[in-house]
A and B are shown apart, each in its own frame.
Chain A
Amino acid sequence: MRKLDYTTIFFALMGSFLVLFILIPIVNLMLSSDLNSIIANLKDSQVISSIFISVYSALAATLIAVLFGVPLAYILARHDFFGKGFVESIIDIPIVIPHTVSGIALLLVFTSGGILGAPLGKLGLVFTNAIPGIIIAMLFVSSSFVVNSAREGFESVDPRMEKVARTLGSGTMRTFFLISLPLALRSIVVGSILCWARAISEFGAIIILAYYPLAASTLIYTRFVQFGLSNSTPVAIILISICLTLFIIVRIIIKGWRSYDKT
C-alpha cells in the first residue's frame, strides 16, 4: 500500500467535495419517489414513447456526428491548413453559446421557409415540431464532443505507423481503416458516449425547434409545471437510471481495449 502523503490526502479531500456535490442531489432525487409511482410511470405510454424518442434521436445524432466528425477529426489531426484554427473554433461554438440561442439559430434556418428548411422540405423533411428537428438540435450541441475526442485519438497515433503501412503497399483509405481507426477507436467511442449523453440531456434547443413530439427532457418539464414536483420526479428517476445503466455498460465494454493504448 502506497504511503499517503499530505498532498494526496488534501487533494482527496478537495475532490470529495465535488463528488459529494454531484452525488447528494442525484441520490436524494432517486430516493424521493416511491416504487409504486415509478412502476406506474413505467407503464405510461407517454413516458415510454418520450424516452424512446430521446434515446433514439440521441443515437441518430451521435451516428451522424461520427459519420461526419471522424473524417474531420482525421484531417485536423494530420494536416495544417490556412483557417485551421477557425474551423476548430467553429466546432466548439455550440458548447459556448446558450442552448436557447442554438435553438433560435436552428429555427431560423430549418423552418419551412428557411434557407435549408425550404429545399429539404421539398424532399419531405420537416424539422419544426418533428423528430428530425430534435435530431438536429441534439447534433448541433453535441457533435463537438466526437470531433475533439477523435482528433485527440488520431493525434496519439504515431504517423510513422501509417507511413510504414503505405510503404508496404497499403492504399490511403485501407491504411486509415486498418491502422489509424482501430488505434484511435477508444477515443472515438468515449467521444461518442459523451456526445450521446449530452444529446439526451438537451432541452433548451429542443423546445424551441420541436416542442412536440415530447422528448423525455421536455416531458419532465411539462409534468413539473402542469402537475407539480411529485409527478415529475418518477420520470426523472427513470431517465437517470436508463442513462446511468447504458453509460456503465459502454464503459465496461471499452475497458477491454486498454491493450491498444500507447504505453
Chain B
Amino acid sequence: MDKKLIILVIVIIAIIGIGVYGYSVYSADSQKGTVSIYAASSLSGQMNATAAQFEKEHPNVKVNIKYGGSSDLINQITSLNQSVDIMASADYGLIDKNLMPNYTSFNLKFGQNQLVIAYTNKSKNSSEIDSTNWYQIFSQSNVTFGLADPNSAPAGYRGVMMMELANTFYNNSTIFNNLIVNNSAITATQNGANTTINSPTNFNPTSKIVIRPAVGDLMPVLESGAVDYVIVYKSDAEQQASSGVKFITLPAELSLNNTTYEPSYSKISINQFSDTNKTKNIKLTPIVYGITLMNNAPDKTLATEFLQLMLSPTGVQITKNNFIDPITPALATANSTNIPSALNPYITLP
C-alpha cells in the first residue's frame, strides 16, 4: 500500500513538473512578440495569408487574429476595453465614428469589395437565378436566404439596405417588404426622398431568413445545405469556390462598389439597435475597408511592421490573391493624424 502511494506521489510530481516546464517554454516563446488583430471576418483569407508571410519574416513572432462582425469587434474595444494592436473593419466609416479620436488617431482605406449572392448545387432553383430575378426566387415560399446580423456586421446592414435599394432599381416597391419586413423585426420609414431602416436588437427572423453574427459564418451554413442563398461579399464566395460555392453578381447599382451611385446610396440609412437608447445611425456608402493601429496597442513597433507588410507591394499582392480589391496607395481619411512615418511610402496622406 505504501509503495503504491509513493508511486502515485512521484507520478503527480512528475506531471506537475512537466507542466511547469512546458509552461515556461511556452511563455518564453510568446515573449518574443505578439501582434493581436481584430479583423472583419471577410478578411480571413487575406489576413491569414499576410500573417503567415509576416511570421515567416519574423521568426518567434505570433500573429493572433480574432475575426467577427466589424460592429461587434469595435464594440468589444469600446465597451469591454479589450486592448488590441490593429483593427481592420469592413466599413471604414465605423472606425471614423467609433474609434476616432479616443481610441485611435488615423484610419487607412485599403480595400474594396462588392455584394454577391452565393449558392450551391443544393440551392433551390439555382439553375434559374440571375441578376434580374434573384428577388423573385427569394420570395418563393420554400426558398431560404441568409444575412449577417445588421447590428453586428457591415455585411448585414449593407445586405439589408441593398434590398431597400432594389425597390428603386427594379421599380418594384414590394421587394423590401416581402423579403425583409415580413420576415423579421426590421421596419423602414420614408421621409421625403430618404429612407431610414430600423434594426432592433433582436432581428427575430422567421424560418425564411438565416442570421449569423459575421458574414463568414454564413458559408458553412450554405455548404451544409441548411440555407439556399446567402448575401455575402464576393471575396467570401471566391474563397469557398473549391467547396462548390457559386455566386451571381448584382447589377452595378446594387453591388455597392461603384462610387458613381453614391448619391442614391446616401438616401438610405439604418439605425442599429433602434429599440435602445444606444442606437447608431449608419448611412449607406460604397464598400471600403479601413485599418488602424490602436492608441494603446500592446506592441506598437511590431504592429507597425505588420501594417508596413500589408500595405507594401507584397501585401497588396496577397490582398489581391485573396479576392479583396486593394486601394494602393492606401488612402488616409481626412482627419487622420500621427500616422507612423514608416507607412508613408505606401499611403496617400490626407
Which residues in A have some Cβ–Cβ distance to B below 8 Å? 56, 59-60, 63, 129, 131, 177-178, 182, 211-213, 222, 224-226, 228-230, 232
Contact assessment for B216 and A56 in the assembled complex, using a CB-CB cutoff below 8 Å:
no
Contact assessment for A229 and B22 in the assembled complex, using a CB-CB cutoff below 8 Å:
no
Contact assessment for A56 and B19 in the assembled complex, using a CB-CB cutoff below 8 Å:
yes
Q: How long is the Cα–Cα vector from A60 to B18 in the complex, in angstroms?
A: 11
Q: Which residues of A contact B66 (CB under 8 A)?
A: 211-212
Q: Which residues of A contact B23 (CB under 8 A)?
A: 131
Q: Do A212 and B223 form a contact, CB below 8 Å, given A60-B19, A63-B15, A230-B243?
A: no
Q: How long is the Cα–Cα vector from A177 to B1 in the complex, in angstroms?
A: 10
Q: How long is the Cα–Cα vector from A22 to B240 in the complex, in angstroms?
A: 30
Looking across the interface, which residue of chain B has its beta carbon closest to that of A104?
Answer: B80
Within 8 A of A (CB), among B207-231: 214, 216-217, 219-220, 223-224
Contact assessment for A178 and B26 in the assembled complex, using a CB-CB cutoff below 8 Å:
no
Q: Do A229 and B223 form a contact, CB below 8 Å, given A177-B5, A178-B1, A212-B64?
A: yes
Q: Which residues of B contact A129 (CB under 8 A)?
A: 36, 64
Q: Which residues of A contact B5 (CB under 8 A)?
A: 177
Q: Which residues of A contact B220 (CB under 8 A)?
A: 224-225, 228-229, 232
How many A-B Cβ pairs are below 8 Å?
A: 49
Q: Which residues of B contact A212 (CB under 8 A)?
A: 36, 64, 66
Mostly, the A contact residues are helix
Looking across the interface, which residue of chain A has its beta carbon closest to that of B67?
Answer: A226
Contact assessment for B41 and A228 in the assembled complex, using a CB-CB cutoff below 8 Å:
no
Q: How far is the CB of B241 from chain A (nearest CB, A)?
A: 11
Q: How long is the Cα–Cα vector from A48 to B30 in the complex, in angstroms?
A: 17
Q: How long is the Cα–Cα vector from A228 to B131 in the complex, in angstroms?
A: 26
Q: Do A229 and B217 form a contact, CB below 8 Å, given A56-B22, A63-B12, A182-B1?
A: no
Contact assessment for B67 and A222 in the assembled complex, using a CB-CB cutoff below 8 Å:
yes
Q: How long is the Cα–Cα vector from A230 to B240 in the complex, in angstroms?
A: 11
Q: Do A228 and B1 form a contact, CB below 8 Å, given A211-B66, A212-B64?
A: no
Among B19, B36, B48, B67, chain A packs the most CB atoms within 10 A around the CB of B19
Q: Which residues of A contact B219 (CB under 8 A)?
A: 225, 228
Q: How far is the CB of A78 from chain B (nearest CB, A)?
A: 21
Q: Which residues of A contact B1 (CB under 8 A)?
A: 178, 182
Contact assessment for B243 and A229 in the assembled complex, using a CB-CB cutoff below 8 Å:
yes
Among B48, B220, B223, chain A packs the most CB atoms within 10 A around the CB of B220
Looking across the interface, which residue of chain A has its beta carbon closest to that of B45?
Answer: A226
Instruction: Provide a sorted-by-A list of 12 A–B residue pairs whose CB atoms are within 8 angstroms.
Output: A60-B19, A63-B15, A131-B26, A177-B5, A182-B1, A224-B220, A225-B44, A225-B219, A226-B44, A226-B216, A229-B220, A230-B223
Which residues in B have some Cβ–Cβ distance to A below 8 Å? 1, 5, 12, 15-16, 19, 22-23, 26, 30, 36, 41, 44-45, 48, 64, 66-67, 214, 216-217, 219-220, 223-224, 240, 243
Q: How long is the Cα–Cα vector from A235 to B95 in the complex, in angstroms?
A: 35
Q: Which residues of A contact B22 (CB under 8 A)?
A: 56
Looking across the interface, which residue of chain A has its beta carbon closest to that of B48?
Answer: A226
Q: Do A225 and B41 form a contact, CB below 8 Å, given A56-B22, A59-B15?
A: yes
The residue that B214 contacts in the complex, of A178, A182, A225, A232, with Cβ under 8 A, is A225
Q: How far is the CB of A195 from chain B (nearest CB, A)?
A: 15
Q: How far is the CB of A189 from chain B (nearest CB, A)?
A: 11
Q: How long is the Cα–Cα vector from A226 to B16 in the complex, in angstroms?
A: 36
Could you list 10 further interchain pairs (A-B, Cβ under 8 angstroms) beyond the known A56-B19, A63-B12, A212-B36? A56-B22, A129-B64, A131-B26, A211-B66, A225-B214, A225-B220, A226-B216, A229-B223, A229-B224, A232-B220
Contact assessment for B243 and A228 in the assembled complex, using a CB-CB cutoff below 8 Å:
yes
Contact assessment for A228 and B15 in the assembled complex, using a CB-CB cutoff below 8 Å:
no
Q: Which residues of A contact B64 (CB under 8 A)?
A: 129, 212
Q: Do A225 and B216 form a contact, CB below 8 Å, given A56-B19, A212-B66, A230-B243?
A: yes
Q: Which residues of B contact A232 (CB under 8 A)?
A: 220
Closest 5 CB pairs of A and B: A212-B64, A226-B44, A228-B243, A229-B223, A229-B220
Q: Which residues of A contact B240 (CB under 8 A)?
A: 228
Contact assessment for B217 and A225 in the assembled complex, using a CB-CB cutoff below 8 Å:
yes
Q: How long is the Cα–Cα vector from A178 to B5 in the complex, in angstroms?
A: 9
Q: Which residues of B contact A177 (CB under 8 A)?
A: 5
Q: How far is the CB of B52 from chain A (nearest CB, A)?
A: 11
Q: Which residues of A contact B19 (CB under 8 A)?
A: 56, 59-60
Q: Which residues of B contact A225 (CB under 8 A)?
A: 41, 44, 67, 214, 216-217, 219-220
Q: How far is the CB of A161 from chain B (nearest CB, A)?
A: 15
Q: How long is the Cα–Cα vector from A211 to B26 in the complex, in angstroms?
A: 16
Q: Which residues of A contact B217 (CB under 8 A)?
A: 225
Q: Which residues of B contact A56 (CB under 8 A)?
A: 19, 22
Q: Which residues of B contact A178 (CB under 8 A)?
A: 1
Looking across the interface, which residue of chain A has its beta carbon closest to that of B30?
Answer: A213
Q: How far is the CB of B107 from chain A (nearest CB, A)?
A: 25
Contact assessment for B44 and A228 in the assembled complex, using a CB-CB cutoff below 8 Å:
no
Q: How far is the CB of A53 from chain B (nearest CB, A)?
A: 9
Q: Do A228 and B214 form a contact, CB below 8 Å, given A56-B22, A131-B26, A182-B1?
A: no
